[in-house]
Structures are given as structure tokens and as C-alpha cells.
Amino acid sequence: MSQTLSVPALQDRVEAILRRAGMNDVQSTALARVITAGERDGCKSHGIYRIEGSLRTLKAGKVRGDARPEIAASTSRGIVRVDARGGFSNPAFDMGLPLLAERARELGLAALVVNDCTHFAALWPEVEAITDHGLAGLVMCPSYASVAPTGGKSPLLGTNPIAFGWPRPGQPPYVFDFATSVVARGEIELHRRAGQPLPEGWAIDADGQPTTDPAAALAGAMLPFGGHKGSAIGTMIELLAGVMIGDLTSPEVLDILGATTLAPMHGELILALSPAAFAAGRRGDPFARAERLFEAIKGQGARLPSERRFAARARALSEGVTLTEAEAEQLDRLLARGLDAVD
Amino acid sequence: MSQTLSVPALQDRVEAILRRAGMNDVQSTALARVITAGERDGCKSHGIYRIEGSLRTLKAGKVRGDARPEIAASTSRGIVRVDARGGFSNPAFDMGLPLLAERARELGLAALVVNDCTHFAALWPEVEAITDHGLAGLVMCPSYASVAPTGGKSPLLGTNPIAFGWPRPGQPPYVFDFATSVVARGEIELHRRAGQPLPEGWAIDADGQPTTDPAAALAGAMLPFGGHKGSAIGTMIELLAGVMIGDLTSPEVLDILGATTLAPMHGELILALSPAAFAAGRRGDPFARAERLFEAIKGQGARLPSERRFAARARALSEGVTLTEAEAEQLDRLLARGLDAVD
């Protein structure tokens, strides 16, 4: 039988599972929030489905469930640095955000670097948290080598997500968040399980030849979105959010982790920009002008990114989140058995 | 008969033409440098071909050839602001760059805003100038409404270029610079003149339907690269490099200019990040680590962006730049007749 829970009730349940598996308060609270946010927003791929993966990563000893992030020393006023100390990225982000916002307001822009974290969540919860401060946010991170650079033939870049948010007073922000590969790796896995061929242009096989066979694609490499342009953006993310911040690149992550089934370890780069500071002394209110741009986009029948997600959120907040019987049983099992419930 | 000139000789000749047309020293010097750089690097679309367009814009009174940019007040230490005062973007960028570099080194990152400029050049000369300071650079600007957002049916976004550079000690930087439309508008015009159909996916007609007819495309709209992802990036550029910096968005530019044949007026956002500051206290030298990434890309047969351009540059610097007879005559005519040589 399906089960409907309020969003806070679901969050409590997820948090209890994570604590039962041995995570401390800061890790379990932050993770439960983003996992619940995924479920609430209708993003099943970042919802409770992710619990097992995070427990598997914990059980494999590849993330520290007892980590307490800390603000690290930074000699540059524009750079806030948080050491996740081998824990998940989310509590480290939460810790750094207030100082990031303060510095962005003071300087006009600032960066938050999260180092030594395990990353498994979407980036939109972070850009949304930045827009809650009236700031624009740009967030990016590597993942693990699974994408061939355009013209190449083997996995090197990660699916390297990039997300951006712009605050909209009185309503949900403008937010996009996407992988710089054509699709996320999970999409290829889903095609494999369903026995369906891939659309052309998604992947190459182990010999570097185009393929529509999901198994051959998983043994080969995914392709960047938008050809050489997406490939260049994916490379920029390796440079800025890997090399520049002194953390792992996607090929290094794969070398260390040895598997693509565990959540990747690396760093994350978060930029916050203050529209109020950038627009100071110029004509027009940036927030009002942005609304005119959004109206023009919607006025010609195009959608803003995240619109469906915000609609799902509104429904979930008023009507709750409905879990299938299988999902509810899975949560029960995870709560009862802890790490014994996963491989 | 074709004519071969040294790069400095070509630059002198271009500068003389711009002065003859009435531009002052700062405008003509900065413009001659970027036009010559385009020709030197084998980028014919940003070479001497651009002289006529800049003179047409000057003759139409849409740019001030006598403008002297000035550093504007900024209350935020991370934001350097240059008022181009209605002149071209290039001398304004040149003026702001030293302070941008100083602030990026001090704070870890900084922004340069150029306001009230006319823009007609590629962005790579600017990101390269940033990398010359040992900094990573990210540059973006709107253009004029010519691209439909994904799912829409009429021109709204610009071709909105974005460029990135990473310094490579002892050799040319890693640089990409591309439009966020599938192709630049000039490509469609070239197909029209050649009587060739467009590849699918480049454009829609005035009814919002896919078209391969160049004339229908010019009356309709171009499409963003990479589907909804490129559309989102193009929108971000309108927000950050238009709305946020208190300058024109692409639809506003088109309203004011009333034509797509003149160089667009707007602002520009330039970010500089210090790898030395971001990597401080972490393991590994970011510049050495970046080289390993580049080697891995090239090692699987992929090219780095700008490689062809740097090869052309090396040739031009040793052998000079060869102009066709028609090109040489055009330069003679522009020098002899000034603004009378253009419509």
C-alpha cells in the first residue's frame, strides 16, 4: 500500500535511517534535508533512491559518517574555505554559506571552496540557498571519469554538473542545474535495464566508435553535451573545481575510488555574486529587469528551467509526498538493518 | 597581387585607417590590436573584415570614436568598473585590466565590469590578457536578440559569447571562446550567399518551425547550442552580463539599435580568479596538475581549443600575414576615403 507523508515527516524518517547507519548529527541532518528535497521536488533520481548509495559509500569506508566540517584558514578575503574532513559535501556547504554570503555582500563577489568531500547530491539545493541571501550563485564540481572529451575516445572528464541561480523576490528563484554530459550516467543504465537502444550521440564504445548499445556505452564513454562547447565547459570545471582548488579531478577520483558505483570524492567551487553591488550606481533595478526577461521567455511559450520542480514542491508541501509500497518497505528495511541492508 | 606584411606593420596600417576615420588614440590603438590579432591568428571573421563594420557603426553615430574610458566609482572592493563612455569595449578593458589583476591577487577573485561600450571583437584577446597575469579568466557578454530560447519561437537571447582562459607557463594558455548559439549569425549569412541549405537544428523560421532555409532563418531565429542547456547558459549571460551589471540585455540592444548590421552596445562581465590563491595550503601545484589534464586530453587524440589559432599565430609572427589583392586594395581604399568608404 502506498504511503503519504508530510515533507517534515519524511525528512525525520530519512534522518533516522542515516543515524541508524552510524552518521553523526551534522552529516545526517544535512543529507536528510537534500534527499528529502529531491523527493519533495519530484526529482526521484536525487530522492530516497540515493540513500542506499550513500550507505554503500559509508560501508566501503569511502566517506566518514562521523566527520565534522570546519572552516579552514584562507589568506584571501574573497575565498571562504571549508574542509569537509572526508564527510559529505552538504554539511560543509551549510557551514560555509553564511560567511560566503557576508563576503559576497562586502566585496561584490566571493567564492566558497569545499575540499575533501564526498558528493552525491544535486547542486540546486546549494544555488537555491545562495539565492535565499539575495545573491546569484554559480556552482560546479567534477565527478569521476566517464565522459570522453570531443575528438577523444575514452573516459576522462566527469559528468561535471554546473548550476546557476538568480533570486526572484517573492517566488522561487531562476535555477538551472545540469550535467555537462549529454545525459547522466543513470539514464544509460536505465536503458540497459529496459533493453532499449540509446539515442545517437550519447556515447561511444570502448574503441571510441559511436554506439547505441547501452552495455557498450557503459564499457566505453559518454559524450559531452553540445559537442566541443560542452567538452570545453567540462574541462573548465576540472580546472576550476578540481585543479585550482587543490582537489581531485575526475580521472584522479576514478583512480582512487576504483568504481563508479560509489559517491565520488572531490571538491566543489561555489561562487556568489551580489546583484545589488554590481548594479550599484546604474539605471534600473536588476531584480525587476530580470523579471521582464523571464516574462519575455515565458511569453513566447518557452519554460524556465526548474518550473516543473517548483510545481512538484508546491504540491508536496500542501499534500505531502507519496511513497510506493516498495519505497516505504525499503525505508523500513534500511531503518531496521542499518548498514547490513546494503552490500 | 597578394601582399605580405609583418604583424606590427599590419597593426600600424589598421590603426592609421581607424585614425583617418576619426577615432582618437585610445580607441584606434586598442581596436587595431584586436583586429590585427584576429588576422594574425587566422580568425578571418574577427580580422580586417571587421574594420568596415566598426566604421559603419561610427558613421551611424552608434559609437563614439573620441571616447576616453574612465575607471568608475565602485563601493565594492571585488568589483572594478570601467565606463567605456560610449566607445568600444577594448580600450575600456585595457584600462581596467591592471586593477582587476591586482584585486584578484589580493582577494582570490575579482570582477571587471565594462559599461556603456560597443562590442565587436572576439573575447579571447581578453581572456588571454588575463592569463598573462597568471590568472584564470571567464568573460561573457550579451549581443542582440537573434536566438530563441529552447521551446520558444522568436529572437530574444543574443548569441552571447562566453570565453575562458587558464594560464600555461611557457606556452599559450588554454582558451575557449564560443557563441551560445549553435553557430554565429555570420555562418547563416554565408550559407544564404552561397545558396546552400543550413544543417538541421541551427534555426527556426518566423513561425517558430525548424528550417534549413537561410533566408527563413534570418527572418526567424537561431537556436542555442546544446538544447535547453545552452539556452540556460545564454539566459545566465543576459542576467549576469546584462541585468546584474546594470547594462543592456540583448532584446534591449536590438530595440535601441534597430539593426543587426551595426556592432551591439552593452556591457561586459569579466571574472579573474587566482589559482595560486585558491590552491594555497593544498597539495600539488595547480599549473603542473593542469598540464597533466591537458596531456591526457591530447593523449587520446582530442584537440585543445585554440590550438589551430596558436599555430596560425606562430606562423604569422615568423612569416608575416598575407593579404589577398582584394584585401590590400580594401585597406588602401579605407585609408584614402575614411568614413566615405562605408555606407
A343 and A313 housed in the same domain: yes
Q: Which chain B residues contact residue A79 at CB under 8 A?
A: 107-109, 277-278
> How is residue B105 written as a grid cell?
591577487
Is A85 within a domain?
yes
Predicted confidence (pLDDT) at residue A35 exceeds the cutoff of 80:
yes
Is A282 within a domain?
yes
> How is residue A240 written as a grid cell?
576550476
The answer to whether A45 is a known catalytic residue is yes
List pLDDT tens digits, range B4-50: 999 999 999 999 999 999 999 999 999 999 999 999 999 988 899 89
Predicted confidence (pLDDT) at residue B70 exceeds the cutoff of 90:
yes
* Cα of A52 to nearest chain B Cα, Å: 29
Predicted confidence (pLDDT) at residue A95 exceeds the cutoff of 90:
yes
* CATH code, domain carrying A79: 3.30.1370.60
Q: CB of B200 within 8 Å of any CB in chain A?
A: no
Is A213 within a domain?
no
List pLDDT tens digits, range A79-88: 999 999 999 9
Is A154 within a domain?
no
B15, B46, B119, B327: the catalytic one is B46
Q: CB of A327 within 8 Å of any CB in chain B?
A: no
Predicted confidence (pLDDT) at residue B260 exceeds the cutoff of 80:
no
Question: Residue B296 and residue A156: Cβ atoms within 8 Å?
Answer: yes
Question: Residue B78 and residue A280: Cβ atoms within 8 Å?
Answer: no
Query: Looking at the 3D structure of chain B, how many domains does it have?
Result: 3
User: If you ran DSSP here, which 8-state letter would residue B229 be given?
Assistant: H
Q: CB of A288 within 8 Å of any CB in chain B?
A: no
Is A212 within a domain?
no
B1 and B132 housed in the same domain: no
Q: Which chain A residues contact residue B245 at CB under 8 A?
A: 278-279, 282
Mean pLDDT confidence for A124-143: 98
Q: CB of A289 within 8 Å of any CB in chain B?
A: yes
Q: CB of B193 within 8 Å of any CB in chain A?
A: no
List pLDDT tens digits, range A212-264: 999 999 999 999 999 999 999 999 999 999 999 999 999 999 888 887 778 88
Is A102 within a domain?
yes
Looking at residue A55, what is its pLDDT? 95
* CATH code, domain carrying B196: 3.30.60.50
Task: State percent of chain B over pLDDT 70.
Answer: 100
Q: CB of A152 within 8 Å of any CB in chain B?
A: yes
Predicted confidence (pLDDT) at residue B261 exceeds the cutoff of 80:
no
Cα A59 to Cα A61: distance, rounded to the nearest angstrom: 5
Mean pLDDT confidence for B282-289: 95
A127 and A2 housed in the same domain: no
Say if residues A205 and A217 touch (Cβ distance below 8 Å): yes
Cα A322 to Cα A316: distance, rounded to the nearest angstrom: 9
Cα B96 to Cα B142: distance, rounded to the nearest angstrom: 19
* CATH code, domain carrying B312: 1.10.1530.10
B101 and B22 housed in the same domain: no
Mean pLDDT confidence for A155-164: 97
List pLDDT tens digits, range A304-316: 999 999 999 999 9
A3 and A126 housed in the same domain: no
Task: State percent of chain A over pLDDT 70.
Answer: 100
Predicted confidence (pLDDT) at residue A206 exceeds the cutoff of 90:
yes
Looking at residue B320, what is its pLDDT? 97
Is A193 within a domain?
no
Is A211 within a domain?
no
Across all residues in chain A, what is the average pLDDT? 95
Mean pLDDT confidence for B196-204: 96
Looking at residue A120, what is its pLDDT? 84
Looking at residue A266, what is its pLDDT? 92
A2 and A108 housed in the same domain: no
Inter-axis angle of helices A25-40 and A307-319, to 10 degrees? Answer: 110
B258 and B317 housed in the same domain: no
Structural domain span for residue B73: 68-177+229-305
A271 strand-pairing partners:
A111, A138
B45 and B83 housed in the same domain: no
B243 and B289 housed in the same domain: yes
Q: What is the 3-state secondary structure (H, E, C) of chain A?
A: CCEEECHHHHHHHHHHHHHHCCCCHHHHHHHHHHHHHHHHCCCHHHCCHHHHHHHHHHHCCCCCCCCCCEEECCCCCCEEEEECCCCEHHHHHHHHHHHHHHHHHHHCEEEEEEEEEECCCCCHHHHHHHHCCCCEEEEECCCCCCECCCCCCCCCECCCCEEEEEEECCEEEEEEEECCECCCHHHHHHHHHHCCCCCCCCEECCCCCEECCHHHHHHCEECECCCHHHHHHHHHHHHHHHHHCCCCCHHHHHHHHCCCCCCCEEEEEEEEECHHHHHCCCCCCHHHHHHHHHHHHHHCCCCCCCHHHHHHHHHHHHHCEEECHHHHHHHHHHHHHHHHHCC
Phi, psi of B199 (to 5 degrees): -60, 155
B2, B45, B70, B325: the catalytic one is B45
Q: What is residue B4's three-state secondary structure? A: strand
The closest alpha carbon to A150, from B296, B201, B301, B161, belongs to B301
Provide the pLDDT confidence category of residue A339 given band limits of 50, 70 and 90: very high
Q: Which chain B residues contact residue A305 at CB under 8 A?
A: 228, 232
Predicted confidence (pLDDT) at residue B343 exceeds the cutoff of 80:
yes
Looking at residue A256, what is its pLDDT? 86
Cα A218 to Cα B247: distance, rounded to the nearest angstrom: 46
Looking at residue B164, what is its pLDDT? 98
Predicted confidence (pLDDT) at residue A199 exceeds the cutoff of 90:
yes
B131 and B76 housed in the same domain: yes
Provide the pLDDT confidence category of residue B123 given band limits of 50, 70 and 90: very high
B28 and B150 housed in the same domain: no
The answer to whether B133 is a known catalytic residue is no
Helix (H) or strand (E) holding B72: strand B70-72
A270 and A234 housed in the same domain: yes
